Amino acid sequence: MTLHPEVAAMLEALDKGFPDVTAVPPPDLREVIRSRRAPLQRQPDMREVRDVIIDGPGGDLALRVFRPHHDAPELPVVVFAHGGGFVFCDLDSHDEFCRSMAQGVGAVVASVDYRLAPEHPAPAAHDDVYCALEWIAKHAADHGGDPTRIVLAGDSAGGNLAATVAVAARDNGGPDVAAQVLMYPVIDDDFDTESYRLYGTGYYNTTRAMQWYWQQYAPNGTDDARLVPTRAQSLAGLPPAVVVTAELDPPCSAGDAYAQRLAGDGVPVRHRRFDGLFHGFLTIPALSFTAPAREEIWAMMRDVLAAADGEV
């Protein structure tokens, strides 16, 4: 296929600059990735940003809560799980993205610094995000949030965590969730889908890397709905979903199929596939396609919340 020149140049730069994750021990990998980040700009500006420590299932669990400049006394609350293959990234890596989401959606965003694999294999990350959901349901008002309008969201591996926590909240009588927002989610470990066959090499995120991530995260297998949401017998009764996929991403087919299965089980779904774009593009503000894509997603999030409120 013919790539847009800007996309082709970005993919070339990413392929050259990103380490081979399979060749570097995870602690060293995290340091390499952190060392290549630009300093935090803390933009866009927020009304308030709080770093909070809560009691997690594995000890202290850090959250960063972003409250945008907004006149409403209570805003929806997004519990956000960052991407990074379950192995790397943190609150700082997605600081700008969460700020943009908070401002664009008009929501409080609580980013979760969940435990990372392989030191903490599954379901540790899932359990941490579920714990954050429960905490937000109790403490949203302390941060200007509305506990009746909670959204689970995540990108990449975080999309997996948002999806699996939505299933767990339904099955365990957990907090009510108004919506789930899955951005190029890592739904499962099926590496033989069409998108893996077409885009498994040469498009930044690779089949080899994805296999390695799953080996770190799920060394004991994935036959558990806390790890793979499609292991759930049914998706009926899950919160309305926004599912975003990227054509050039190996997990794209699984994300598309999950959107279809959600709809087939009666869940309202807003599904948008960004053709000609690649895994992770939403967290690259320098790419000209990113800002308009974000605006489209923020609008879908506002729409799904309005629908949940009965406004549309």
Give per-residue pLDDT as tens, 185-238.
999 999 999 999 999 999 999 999 999 999 999 999 999 999 999 999 999 999
pLDDT for 17 equals 86
Range from 11-25, 50-64, 276-290 carrying the lowest mean pLDDT: 11-25
Q: Which residue has the tokens 């049914």?
A: 234
Mean pLDDT is lowest, of 37-41, 53-57, 236-240, for 37-41
Predicted local distance difference test score (pLDDT) of residue 312: 45
Active site residues: 156
Q: Which residues contact 218 (CB under 8 A, 6 or more apart)?
A: 121, 122, 189, 227
114 vs 61: CA distance, rounded Å? 7
Global pTM value: 0.97
Q: What is residue 311's predicted lDDT score, i.e. its pLDDT?
A: 60
If DSSP codes are grouped into helix, strand and coil, which group holds residue 258? helix
pLDDT of 241 = 98
CA distances in angstroms from 124 to 87, 113, 120, 224, 278, listed in the order given: 12, 12, 6, 13, 28
Both tokens of residue 77? 């609350």
Per-residue pLDDT for 1 more than 80? no
Q: What CATH number should be reported for the domain holding residue 243?
A: 3.40.50.1820
Task: Please say whether the beta carbons of 143 and 78 come within 8 A.
Answer: no
Number of domains in the chain: 1
The whole domain housing 170 covers 5-308
CA distance 80 to 113: 9
